[in-house]
Every structure is written in C-alpha cells, then in structure tokens.
Structure 1
Amino acid sequence: MSGKKEYDSKKHEKEVEEMREVFDLFDKDSDGTITISELGVVLKSLKKNFNEQQLKEIIKKVDKNGDGQIDFEEFLKMMSNRVGTRNRDYELKEAFNVFDQDGDGYITASELSTVMKTLGEQIDKETIDLMIEGVDRDGDGEIDFNEFKMMMAEGPQ
C-alpha cells in the first residue's frame, strides 16, 4: 500500500509543478499574483477576448482572499477543480491547439515564435529551433501532438 501512496504523492508533486509553470506564464511580472491585465494578455493570446468587467468576474470567482488578484494557491484550487472534471488528453489538446495556429496538426518554429511573442517572451530564432529540436522525435522539424504530449509528460529538461 505504501508504494501506491508514494506514487500518488510524486504524481501530485509533478501536477503542482506543471501548474506552477502555467501560473508563471500568466504572472508576467513574477510578483506571485495574476492581475486583471495579466489575465487579459494571456486570454488574448488564446484568442479569447474579454472586456475588463468580464475579466473582473473571472478573478472574483477565483479570488478567495478578496485582493483582486489570483495567487498561486487560488490558481491551484481553480485548476484542480477544472482538471478534476476534464480529461488530461483534452486539456493537452487544447494547449496544443493554441500553438498549432493553422490547425494542421503540427507546431512549426514560426507558430511557436508567434505564440511566445504574444505571451511577451522575446525568443530568437536559434532558441526556437533548439526548442523544436529538443522535442522533435521524428526529425521532421515540427512538433506533432504525440511529441507535445511526451514533452509535457517529461517536464522541463
């Protein structure tokens, strides 16, 4: 029995790490909270446009301490509720589709660069190419969904 508990604990730690990475993408100024403007930037990059009132409502639903921002604990609670009701493959496919902007089933260097710029990350072509190369198992210069899933399962290298 203890082996199962240890496995579950490690699985939980990995999930928390993954959620931290997602949180950090939202938290542009790295102050430990997601503000209305930071939420707006990320949602816009996901092709979701909300007005300020809608963004305030989103934050209000999650903001348990009433400070008008989302801290990591609040984010974790929100995501665990969401992940608990949805299939992981579905979540990964949604994330993949954000990067696969033309919907052809592959993430190209150009698509990766565009999304990273939208998220406020200025990454040069060499680094983008290295990122693709590090994940591209079949050597075709693009990332397919299976390669994306493996990358997400492995976590940061």
Structure 2
Amino acid sequence: DKDGDGQITTKELGTVMRSLGQNPSESELQDMINEVDADNNGTIDFPEFLTMMARKMKDTDSEEEIREAFKVFDRDNNGFISAAELRHVMTSIGEKLTDEEVDEMIREADQDGDGRM
C-alpha cells in the first residue's frame, strides 16, 4: 500500500511480486485481486489481503516461496530480519518509510522482543 490509502492496486501488487522474484502479467495481477476483491472495487483492502495470503499459505509450495521471500529481506543470512534489512528492502522497492514506521513494523512482528523478526 505505497500511497497509504488502505488499498493495494495491481501496480502496488506487481511491485511487491517483482521484489519477491515473481514476474506476473497485468492480467495475472488483476486475477489475483479479483479472487479476493469481495467488494468488487478493483483493489485489495486489508481483510481481502489477509484472505489472499491465507489462500497462498495453503499452496503446496508456499513454504518454499515464503523462505525465498524471507531470504530477500535477510541479507546477512543470519535467519533474522533486522530493522536495517527491512528498511533496505522497503527502500529498494520504492517505499519511503520513516525510522518510526520501520520500527513499528518490526514491533508488530517481533514475537520475543529482540528487535528483529
């Protein structure tokens, strides 16, 4: 949700997919959105995003895809994503996040309070 409007467009979804090593066509992106777009507004809001991710998690090869996505963030391959690594990847895909926003993302996902995921 690059522009912070609470919706994910096909363009925003494409940016994320490409950052994870995928190269979906415009029609594939639209199909992904249409699968979960409950209100038929052409974009994905957060509940619809959760639905999409839950379906993706059920795919047989999704664990490997998740590992590959994690490796994109875990630049030093230590098994954790630090705030600096998260900031680097988010910046490289065009996200302009403040330190506070990155720290908040880490806090939300940091289960043991060590400052990393």
State the TM bucket, normalised to the shorter chain. 0.5 to 0.7
1:56 deviates by 0.8
Report the residue type matching 1:62 in the other structure. Answer: V
CA 1:58–1:155: 2 relative to 1, 3 Å: farther
Equivalences, count: 105
Using the size of structure 1 for normalisation, the TM-score is 0.49
Structure (1 or 2) with the larger CA radius of gyration: 1
1:67 deviates by 1.0
1:48 deviates by 1.2
1:39 deviates by 0.4
SS at match of 2:111: helix
State how 1:138-153 maps to structure 2 within 5 Å: 152-153=110-111
Q: Point out the structure with the larger strand share.
A: 1
1:31 deviates by 0.8
Question: 2:43 corresponds to which residue?
Answer: 69
Q: Point out the structure with the larger helix share.
A: 1
Residues 20 and 68 of structure 2 are in contact (CA less than 8 Å); yes or no, is this contact kept in structure 1?
Answer: no
1:66 deviates by 1.2
Query: Structure 2: where are the runs of 5+ without partners?
Result: none
Using the size of structure 2 for normalisation, the TM-score is 0.62
Q: Which runs of 4+ in 1 moved over 4 A?
A: 89-92
1:54 paired residue among 16, 19, 28: 28
CA 1:156–1:53: 2 relative to 1, 3 Å: farther
Question: 1:13 corresponds to which residue?
Answer: none
In the TM superposition, what whole-angstrom CA distance separates every residue of 1:22-58 from its partner, at most 9, and x where no partner exists? Answer: xxxxx11111110011101111111211121111111
CA RMSD of superposed structures (Å): 3.8
Measured in 2, the distance between the counterparts of 1:44 and 1:75 equals: 17
Query: Structure 1: where are the runs of 5+ without partners?
Result: 1-26, 136-150
1:114 deviates by 4.3
CA 1:72–1:155: 2 relative to 1, 3 Å: farther
Measured in 2, the distance between the counterparts of 1:108 and 1:114 equals: 11
CA 1:33–1:155: 2 relative to 1, 3 Å: farther
